[in-house]
Copies of this chain bind each other. A is one copy, B any other.
Amino acid sequence: MSDNDHQTITRVTCTAPVNIAVIKYWGKRDEDLILPINSSLSVTLHQDQLKTTTTIACSRSFREDRIWLNGKEEDISHPRLQSCLREIRRLACKRRNTDNPTSEVISVSYKVHICSENNFPTAAGLASSASGYACLVYTLSQLFGVEGELSAVARQGSGSACRSLYGGFVQWKLGERSDGKDSIAEQVEPESYWPEVRVLILVVSAEQKSVASTSGMHTSVETSHLLKCRADVVVPGRMEQMIGAIRQRNFAVFGDLTMKDSNQFHATCLDTYPPIFYLNDISRKIISLVHRYNQHYGETRVAYTFDAGPNAVIYTLQEHLPEFLEVVRHFFPPEVNGGEFLRGLPVNLTLLSEELKREIKMEPTPKGIHYIISTKAGPGPCTVEDPNLHLLDAGGLPKKSA
């Protein structure tokens, strides 16, 4: 390596998606390795609407690892960040020793500058840790030239992050090993397999901060008898049914299982002691609206799922989307200016029949839903080729700060 290399700064920028589970992950059997008590399954959302972008710069000249999240420097010593950095460096070393001992690649000993931001507001209540850790691990792997199974690394940043390493429909297999090597994500089908599936995120105005999911699931494992029953008895069968439903593109089965599993997850939260509540009265009204809508048609056309917060994620098919969106708009009339109510993928306008409104028989709740993000399933992490899009400048510092 020449003296000039001393100042060389290599930058890599990648993006990674958010995923929303339809069979929920709740509870760890190993807190350090982040090994779950049950398998889970999610849909990766399209990055046009929701993504994390991460630039990592690497140089012999950097004196320490540093990280900036959404423009603000954060503490790099966070154990989960350290786990991901350590694991990727370990894989990179291993690879060099075995495959490519003499190749001219970036030294694993170089320090990194990491800069990461989301294209969605934290206020949307979407867990950014999945896309965040998936993006960190994927970008590090691109930087250090690591290939192969990355999901076991991302899992050690945030459990559900492992599912964000793949597009489409993704399962995270529980695994059996105590070292976690078989607790990995696998694509069930790519997003192109079932393109008719559409997604709406109904952002509910939450009054209070929810219990963080890490501490919540810890308390659930410690105190909920029902969680153990769910993990041991219920989820294995549901995973099989859900994979079958996706492969057969059977929305009724997919939707019913999605709703049942969301409800069961929240039931185990309520069985936790002290109890954890993520659903509020608006969430409950959305649940009721979905069931009444489906009942009207005598089939499951729309399904809800809720993570660790009051926001609903709605899965439906393209053909039912315009009408259901109007139903939501009718029963949750937006604040004043409807222009900003629907964000993301456009949806055709339609008119509601008076019969449908009458049959649903609910009192409208003005301003119950703050706004809606319209999206669909999408691909896994990508590398950004355009150097203008790096979040770190040529000197390895953030282009913009908070």
List residues of A whose CB falls within 8 A of some B CB.
225-226, 229-230, 233-234, 256, 259-260, 263-264, 266-268, 270-275, 277, 280-281, 284, 287, 291
| B residues in contact with A277, CB < 8 Å | 284, 287
Question: A397 to nearest B CB, angstroms?
Answer: 40
What's the nearest-Cβ distance from chain B to residue A277, in Å?
Answer: 5
Contacts of A225 in B (CB 8 A): 229-230, 233-234, 264
For chain A, what secondary structure do more than half of its interface residues adopt (helix, strand, loop), or is it mixed? helix
Q: Quick one: closest B residue to A287, CB to CB?
A: B275
A273 x B263 contact (CB < 8 A): yes
Question: Quick one: which of B230, B234, B263, B273 contacts A270, CB cutoff 8 A?
Answer: B263
Contact flag A271-B264 (CB < 8 Å), given A225-B229, A225-B234, A229-B229:
yes
CA distance A273 to B262 in the complex (A): 11
Q: How far is the CA of A116 from the CA of B145 in the complex (A)?
A: 82
Looking across the interface, which residue of chain B has its beta carbon closest to that of A263?
B275
Q: How far is the CB of A20 from chain B (nearest CB, A)?
A: 19
Determine the residue in chain B with the shortest Cβ distance to A268.
B267
Partner of A226 from B264, B284, B291 at Cβ < 8 Å: B264
Chain B residue contacts of A230, Cβ below 8 A: 225-226
Would you give 17 A-B contacts (Cβ < 8 Å), ordered by A? A225-B230, A225-B234, A225-B264, A226-B226, A226-B229, A226-B271, A229-B229, A263-B270, A263-B273, A264-B271, A266-B270, A267-B271, A274-B287, A275-B287, A277-B284, A277-B287, A280-B281
The 3 A-B pairs at the shortest CB distance, nearest first, are namely A229-B229, A267-B267, A267-B271
State the Cβ distance, A99 to closest chain B Cβ, in Å. Answer: 48
Chain B residues near A272 (CB-CB < 8 A): 263
